[in-house]
Every structure is written in structure tokens, then in C-alpha cells.
């Protein structure tokens, strides 16, 4: 459920007590311009007005009506992933022919020349580029 914005009315009352939940208005406004917090659409207040100066979003209504009377709730993603120090490193080894191509690629890059590396699928063309990149 991390990162999702769910209508407060769709959540069981005991879950609403969870301190990790953040509650906010489904329709917000900046000055006289109203926006739907769920889909970000600007609301035409003349066409999408409800009684007592309330408004709804017609853009995302197929997912349930969001209006100025409702709140959304969300739980922030904790982002507690293991961070790799060098995520884009390759630990494989090249064959002698691949290594020769890789050295050619490095020289080509240094000299800013155009070079065609042509080989069958699975020959390791990408891996041969790594040192040059
Ligand atoms: Zn909307």
C-alpha cells in the first residue's frame, strides 16, 4: 500500500488509527483554483460544483468520486533498500578476443572516431563497451 492514495472512506476504521497514515484533502486549492489531489487535474468549478460550494473531480471519477468533502490517506514508502556502493559494475571477464575488441573500443573513444562493433547476439558486445564507457 506504500505510496498509494486511497479514499479515507475506503479504509477500515481500525487501520485509520495507524500513526504512519498521512491524511490530506482530496481536493485542494491555490487561491480560487481547485485541484484534485489524486490525479492532479485542475477542476472546472462551474461544471463540477456540488451543493454548499463543494466540488468534485470529473477526470478520475471512474475510480470513485473525489470531492471537497473527502480525504485521501497514504503511507510513505520507507525506502529501506540495501544501497549498493557501485551498482553499475560488471564483475565478469572477457575472452582474449573480447578483450582485444574492448581495447580497440577504448582507443576509438579516446580518439573520438566512429567504430563498428559487429557480432552475433550474445557475443558480449555490451560487456566489451564497459571499459570504454
Ligand atoms: Zn481527479
Spell out which residues have Cβ within 5 A of ligand 1, the ion.
36, 38-39, 41, 57, 59-60
- Tell me how far the alpha carbon of residue 54 lies from the centroid of ligand 1, in angstroms: 14
User: What mean pLDDT value characterizes the chain?
Assistant: 93
Over residues 50-97, the pLDDT tens digits come to 999 999 999 999 999 999 999 999 999 888 888 888 888 888 999 999
Q: How far apart are CA 94 and CA 104, in angstroms?
A: 14
- Tell me how far the alpha carbon of residue 41 lies from the centroid of ligand 1, in angstroms: 6
Indicate if the pLDDT at residue 41 is higher than 80: yes
- Tell me how far the alpha carbon of residue 69 lies from the centroid of ligand 1, in angstroms: 14
Of 57, 118, 130, 60, nearest in space to 93 by CA: 130
- Tell me how far the alpha carbon of residue 50 lies from the centroid of ligand 1, in angstroms: 15
pLDDT at 49: 95
pLDDT at 87: 81
**DSSP per-residue string spanning 16-72:** HT-TTEEEEESEEEETTEEEETTT-PEE-TTTSEETTTEEB-SSSGGG---BTT-EE
pLDDT at 79: 85
Domain boundary assignment for the chain: 6-75, 96-130
- Tell me how far the alpha carbon of residue 64 lies from the centroid of ligand 1, in angstroms: 9
For residues 16 and 6, the answer to whether their CB atoms sit within 8 Å is: no
pLDDT at 90: 86
Inter-CA distances, 46 with 23, 27, 29, Å: 27, 15, 15
For residues 26 and 35, the answer to whether their CB atoms sit within 8 Å is: no
Q: What is the DSSP letter of 122?
A: T
pTM: 0.59
pLDDT at 78: 86
pLDDT at 83: 85
Amino acid at each position: 500500500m506504500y505510496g498509494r492514495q486511497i479514499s479515507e472512506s475506503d479504509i477500515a476504521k481500525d487501520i485509520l488509527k495507524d500513526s504512519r497514515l498521512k491524511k490530506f484533502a482530496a481536493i485542494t486549492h491555490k487561491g480560487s483554483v481547485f485541484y484534485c489531489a489524486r490525479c492532479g487535474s485542475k477542476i472546472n468549478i462551474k461544471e463540477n460544483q456540488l451543493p454548499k460550494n463543494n466540488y468534485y473531480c470529473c477526470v478520475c471519477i471512474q475510480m470513485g468520486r473525489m470531492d471537497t468533502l473527502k480525504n485521501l490517506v497514504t503511507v510513505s514508502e520507507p525506502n529501506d533498500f540495501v544501497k549498493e556502493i557501485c551498482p553499475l559494475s560488471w564483475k565478469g571477464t572477457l575472452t582474449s578476443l573480447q578483450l582485444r575488441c574492448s581495447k580497440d573500443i577504448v582507443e576509438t573513444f579516446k580518439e573520438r572516431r566512429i567504430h563498428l562493433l559487429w557480432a552475433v547476439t550474445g557475443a558480449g558486445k555490451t560487456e566489451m563497451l564497459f571499459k570504454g564507457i
